[in-house]
Amino acid sequence: MLARVWSASLIGIDAVKVGVEVDVSGGLPGIVVVGLPDAAVQESRERVKAALKNAGYTFPVRKVVVNLTPADLRKEGPSFDLPISVGILAASEQVSNQLLSNFLFLGEVSLDGSLHPVPGALSIAAAAKAMGISGLVLPAANACEAAVVEGLSVYSFDHLSDVGKFLSHPEHYAPLRLNGLEALARSRGVLAAGVNDHFRRLSQLAGPDLKDVKGQEHGRRALEIAATGGHNLVFVGPPGSGKTMLARRLPGILPPLTFAEALEVTKIHSVAGLLKHQETFVTDRPFRSPHHSASGPALVGGGSFPRPGEISLAHRGVLFLDELTEFKREVLEFLRQPLEDGYVTISRARQSVAFPAQFTLVASTNPCPCGYFSDVLQPCTCSPRQREQYWAKLSGPLMDRIDLQVAVNRLKPEEITGPALGEDSASVRVRIEAARDRARIRFQAEPNLSCNAQMQSHHLRQWCHLDDPTRSLLETAIRRLGLSARATDRIVKVARTIADLASEVELKTHHVAEAIQYRTIDRMQ
């Protein structure tokens, strides 16, 4: 007898429908899997055989042929264990096949018949709804992330025998349903408020707090501007000046994720297999900090079956590159396109996959190999040639894409020994959220814009008018600093953010003047 079960395969962070056809016929006993399966799918033959027997079912003592369609699409991973098991049970008439045409199945099956979670359940659930599938059957550990997709009946089970009972008597089971907004609010203890599903935290801020930072008012101001406008930022200064300490406090002053952003981030982490057990959403903005020995594929993603890299895992959050000049130059060059476009495309012989990568880049570096160039107390021991080679890893086009370039100087003795007197992260975030609200109202007709750093040239013409004195100041800066057109646009974007923080509708000369200050580090050689 022939049975057809629906499943899905991941391509990037999206999913495509896969048919699992099972034919049980005469011939020598055995099971054959065709349709471009990888090693993990091929191994499912032995897992499924043992799981069916241990779950109380009979494995057919006949030839079993499993065909995965479309045949030209490579299938990978253990998520086909459950649909293959269900197909064999239906083809051998051990369970009813009345639900198979409208349901999609996925899950890994262990030898004792228990079901284990698989990556990408949220993406597959969203794709199933788009395909017109009415129901989804999957492991219980994947249930919460899949159930946030409205209009899809999600049934979750812990054991293969429970799936068999459900197929024979579906009327005895009720689907799991979750309200996405309530699930997000409940998972992080906040209430919905404001516009565009914006959320306010009620609980105390977790993680490093800005109140622990002593001095560095210039750096704190740059951090606030970066958080408000989504601008890329690099701190340059001697060892121990507080560069890393400042950078690690950026996530604590960023506004919380909106519901739409939380879905995007959760989908990426689900595909990467990074969701915690029973987790519905990624509730906090990501903060990724790869070591400087990271390779290009680790940073941007890759592999035979492309998986998201660090920049995609930092989507809607922060990518922190500590000791920026210790990264290999060719690795840093991989960042140029994602910083400009907000996504990265990975091409392979059979397919091309695009991963979202709208992140805020925060980096820190020393001014030279010894770290003390231009320091007022410690003399630099590096030669001009050594400093030149040190900074050669940072190309002009890459630095052009970093909006805020901030010198962080050594703390004064009284600042080191005295108490920290700066604002805490919660107070700073109140101003940032108010400024982002102003930008959000401005962007109402532009759904793809969420912060000032994402504005394009036509947006600058619309919302960043410069009067004659301000234009003259900017032209002078272009001539003296040798600024490119891209760098000039980024100065205007930063000025727009500074004006938002000051509750100003129009750009003024002092807004642009402050923005220019953050472009004056010229490779401290």
User: Residues 401-447: pLDDT tens digits?
Assistant: 999 999 998 888 888 888 878 889 999 999 999 999 999 999 999 98
- What is the C-alpha to C-alpha distance for residues 406 and 223, in angstroms, rounded to an integer? 10
Q: What's the pLDDT band for 187 if we cut at 50, 70, 90?
A: low
The tens digit of pLDDT for each residue in 373-396 reads 988 888 999 999 999 999 998 998
Of the two residues 146 and 200, the one the predictor is more confident about is: 146
Tokens 């959403």 -> residue: 281
Q: What is the pLDDT of residue 282?
A: 85
The tens digit of pLDDT for each residue in 1-11 reads 899 999 999 98
- The percent of residues in the chain predicted with pLDDT above 90, rounded, is 72
Q: Are 113 and 159 in contact (CB under 8 A)?
A: yes
Q: Are 307 and 269 in contact (CB under 8 A)?
A: no
For residues 274-286, average pLDDT: 79
Where exactly are the structural domains of the chain? 2-172, 202-450
The angle at the Cα of 402, spanning 224 to 244, to the nearest 5 degrees, equals: 55
User: Hey, what are 393's tokens?
Assistant: 């890893």
Q: What is the pLDDT of residue 239?
A: 92
Segment 299-304 long-range contacts (CB within 8 Å, at least 24 positions apart): 299/331, 299/334, 299/335, 300/334, 300/335, 300/338, 300/344, 300/346, 300/357, 301/344, 301/346, 301/355, 302/346, 304/348
- Check whether 194 has a pLDDT greater than 50: no
- What is the C-alpha to C-alpha distance for residues 245 and 375, in angstroms, rounded to an integer? 19
- What is the C-alpha to C-alpha distance for residues 184 and 195, in angstroms, rounded to an integer? 16
- Check whether 172 has a pLDDT greater than 70: yes
Q: Are 362 and 446 in contact (CB under 8 A)?
A: no
- CA distances 18 to 7, 13, 75, 108, 467, Å, are 5, 16, 9, 16, 59
C-alpha atoms less than 13 angstroms from C-alpha of 132 in its C-beta half-sphere: 1
- What is the C-alpha to C-alpha distance for residues 275 and 262, in angstroms, rounded to an integer? 13
Q: What is the pLDDT of residue 411?
A: 86
Q: What is the pLDDT of residue 199?
A: 39
Of the two residues 186 and 505, the one the predictor is more confident about is: 505
The tens digit of pLDDT for each residue in 327-345 reads 999 999 999 999 999 999 9
pTM: 0.89
- Check whether 193 has a pLDDT greater than 50: no
Residue closest to 145 by CA, chosen among 10, 16, 274, 12: 274
**Fold held by 2-172:** Ribosomal Protein S5; domain 2 (3.30.230)
Same fold, 2-172 and 202-450: no
Q: What is the pLDDT of residue 144?
A: 87
**Taking the chain, what is the end-to-end CA distance rounded to the nearest angstrom?**
76
Q: What's the pLDDT band for 278 if we cut at 50, 70, 90?
A: low
Mean pLDDT estimate for the chain = 89
User: H or E element: which one contains 327?
Assistant: none
Q: What's the pLDDT band for 188 if we cut at 50, 70, 90?
A: low
The tens digit of pLDDT for each residue in 458-513 reads 999 999 999 999 999 999 999 999 999 999 999 999 999 999 999 999 999 999 99
Residue closest to 372 by CA, chosen among 472, 501, 240: 240
Q: Which amino acid is at 208?
A: P
Q: What is the pLDDT of residue 421?
A: 80
Residue 504 sits at φ, ψ, to 5 deg, of -100, 135
What are residue 361's DSSP bridge partners?
319
Q: Chain-centre distance of CA 155, in angstroms?
A: 27
Q: What is the pLDDT of residue 350?
A: 72
For residues 282-303, average pLDDT: 91
> At 199, is the secondary structure helix, strand, or coil?
strand
The tens digit of pLDDT for each residue in 80-111 reads 999 999 999 999 999 999 999 999 999 999 99
Q: What is the pLDDT of residue 376?
A: 83
The tens digit of pLDDT for each residue in 15-42 reads 999 999 999 987 888 899 999 999 989 9
For residues 246-251, average pLDDT: 93
- Check whether 67 has a pLDDT greater than 50: yes
Q: What is the pLDDT of residue 197?
A: 43
- Check whether 50 has a pLDDT greater than 90: yes
Burial class, 426, CB count within 10 angstroms (exposed 0-12 / middle 13-18 / buried 19+): middle
- What is the C-alpha to C-alpha distance for residues 371 and 382, in angstroms, rounded to an integer? 9
Q: What's the pLDDT band for 279 if we cut at 50, 70, 90?
A: low
- What is the C-alpha to C-alpha distance for residues 140 and 126, in angstroms, rounded to an integer? 17
- The percent of residues in the chain predicted with pLDDT above 70, rounded, is 93
Q: Are 286 and 255 in contact (CB under 8 A)?
A: no
> Which CATH code, of 3.90.110.10, 3.90.950.10, 3.40.120.10, 3.40.50.300, is assigned to 202-450?
3.40.50.300
Q: What's the pLDDT band for 202 if we cut at 50, 70, 90?
A: very low
Tokens 């990518």 -> residue: 319
Residue 407 sits at φ, ψ, to 5 deg, of -85, 125
User: Hey, what are 399's tokens?
Assistant: 């630095």
